[in-house]
Amino acid sequence: MKIIYWIGIDDHADKWTVAQYRGEEPQPSKEFELVPDEKGYRRLLGYLKGLEGEVRVVYEAGPCGYELYRRLTRAGYKCQVAAPALTPRKPGERVKTNRRDAAKLARYLRSNDLTFIVVPDQDRESLRDLVRSRQSVQKDVGRMRKQIIHLLLRYGHRYREGQAWTQRFWAWLKKVQLEGVHSRFVLTEMIGELEHRISQLERYDEQVELASQKPEYQPYLAAQRTLRGINTLSAMTILSELGDLRRFATAPKLMAAVGVVPSEYSTSDKTNRFSITKTGNAHLRHVMVEAAWQYQRRQLLGRTIKARRKDQPKAIVEIAEKCDKRLHTRFYRLTSRNKKSTVAVVAVARELLGFIWAIGQIAHP
């Protein structure tokens, strides 16, 4: 009979803790530690090569990325990456060590109790880094703007001639003179930092636009942009975070992966549902909620949307038109029943993901 070696690795920046189960043995037959450097990789591959039988390896996704997965896969071994949030945990366990974690992963791999993530290829991971970094810079811009407004308010300065951060606002801001010497220095530094962040954001936008011009991305992005609220940046976020949407068998599975389905605690005949789970991809969840606000207004097909839908297949245009009608009606009905708009927009974002999934079954990268 062919022997299967189940190997769990507790992956950290400073060391790997490895636990091996041989077949159906109740206890690990071998446990050891390695340093995750080139020498450590050679020792790990040499150890796996010496095992006579099928080898299956697992470790949890974390800050160390997927280099271990890629090296083991290139060497011909079956390696999988588990989702940490979905790894079973016993409520009564109060002792946690690297050795126990490695053994637990190997044991759960053997019993098929782990949920695995889809590891992106290097190109998509690089694209994801670009999009996520752009989002981080955008948050910095918003934070700096708030800090400047709050500093001015403390000294009695408030812009009352229109919207903030317009050209007229910038002209007014440059003329403001605070009384204290140190306060003037702080304001000057804040304005300089904000201008630096804005220019940085513009450079990120240029790179995202350049990346979107790749021929293999164009059909997918063009199809997703037929939906209201989905521009190039939103479509690139969907692409970089999820890749091929055909890997989700149904739309509800995509919604669950993004964490916009209600949490539930039911027992006997009682069913209790609560706020959304917020598990899964937080970056994409934020983008979807922002896009869903577009359906609060009455549907009007402007020139931009008409141009995006002009040369698209009939099936995709029909999905987009159905999305327009359904999601606006959904938003209106929820708010008319005294639901807060912030609650309604999450429900609309959940259904928007369903239409994105439907388009992804037709057009894919």
Q: What is the pLDDT of residues 313-341, one digit of tens each?
A: 999 999 999 999 999 999 999 999 999 99
Looking at the fold, whether 11 and 37 belong to one and the same domain comes out as yes
Please tell me the number of Cα atoms within 13 Å of 136 on its side-chain side.
6
The domain that holds 9 is classified in CATH as 3.30.420
Residue 1 has a pLDDT of 66
Looking at the fold, whether 175 and 230 belong to one and the same domain comes out as no
* Tokens, residue 338: 């005294």
pLDDT band at 302 (very low <50, low <70, confident <90, very high): confident
Report the C-alpha gap between 325 and 54 in whole angstroms.
Answer: 54
Q: Which of 212, 229, 264 is the last residue of a domain?
A: 212
Tell whether 188 is covered by a domain: yes
Residues ≥6 apart with Cβ < 8 Å to 180: none
Looking at the fold, whether 163 and 287 belong to one and the same domain comes out as no
Looking at the fold, whether 19 and 137 belong to one and the same domain comes out as no
DSSP assignment letter at 156 = T
Phi-psi region of 156 (alpha: psi -120 to 50; beta: other; left: phi over 0): left
Report the C-alpha gap between 107 and 82 in whole angstroms.
Answer: 13
Helix locations, 112-217, DSSP H: 122-154, 167-175, 181-212
Residue 298 has a pLDDT of 79
Looking at the fold, whether 247 and 174 belong to one and the same domain comes out as no
pLDDT at 54 over 90: yes
Closest alpha carbon to 204 in 223, 232, 224: 232
- Chain position carrying tokens 């801001």: 173
Report the C-alpha gap between 79 and 69 in whole angstroms.
Answer: 6
Looking at the fold, whether 242 and 265 belong to one and the same domain comes out as yes
* Tokens, residue 136: 């981080």
- What is the mean pLDDT of the segment spanning 204-216? 96
Looking at the fold, whether 356 and 227 belong to one and the same domain comes out as yes
pLDDT > 90 fraction of the chain, expressed in percent and rounded: 88
Residue 23 has a pLDDT of 92
Looking at the fold, whether 161 and 72 belong to one and the same domain comes out as no
Q: What's the pTM value of the predicted model, to 2 decimals?
A: 0.89
pLDDT tens digit string along 257-300? 999 999 888 887 888 888 899 988 899 999 999 999 999 987 77
Looking at the fold, whether 267 and 334 belong to one and the same domain comes out as yes
Report the C-alpha gap between 94 and 224 in whole angstroms.
Answer: 47
- What is the mean pLDDT of the segment spanning 137-150? 97
pLDDT at 101 over 80: yes
- Residue 271 pairs in a beta bridge with 266
What is the Cα Rg of the chain in Å? 26
Tell whether 116 is covered by a domain: no
Tell whether 317 is covered by a domain: yes
- What is the mean pLDDT of the segment spanning 36-59? 95
Report the C-alpha gap between 68 and 10 in whole angstroms.
Answer: 11
Looking at the fold, whether 23 and 81 belong to one and the same domain comes out as yes
- What is the mean pLDDT of the segment spanning 133-140? 96
pLDDT at 131 over 80: yes
pLDDT tens digit string along 179-205? 889 999 999 999 999 999 999 999 999
- What is the mean pLDDT of the segment spanning 106-135? 95
Across the chain, which distance is largest between two alpha carbons, in Å? Answer: 84
Tell whether 224 is covered by a domain: yes
- What is the mean pLDDT of the segment spanning 87-116? 94
Residue 32 has a pLDDT of 96
Residue 27 has a pLDDT of 94
pLDDT band at 227 (very low <50, low <70, confident <90, very high): very high
Tell whether 314 is covered by a domain: yes
Q: Which domain holds residue 154?
A: 122-212
Tell whether 76 is covered by a domain: yes
Tell whether 26 is covered by a domain: yes
Looking at the fold, whether 317 and 245 belong to one and the same domain comes out as yes
Residue length of the chain: 365
Looking at the fold, whether 81 and 128 belong to one and the same domain comes out as no
Q: Which of 184, 212, 240 is the last residue of a domain?
A: 212
Q: Which of 186, 212, 238 is the last residue of a domain?
A: 212
**Number of structural domains the chain divides into:** 3
- φ, ψ at 10 (rounded to 5°): -90, 105
CB 104 within 8 A of CB 114: no
Tell whether 117 is covered by a domain: no
pLDDT > 70 fraction of the chain, expressed in percent and rounded: 100
- What is the mean pLDDT of the segment spanning 59-87? 95
- Mean pLDDT score of the chain, rounded to an integer? 94
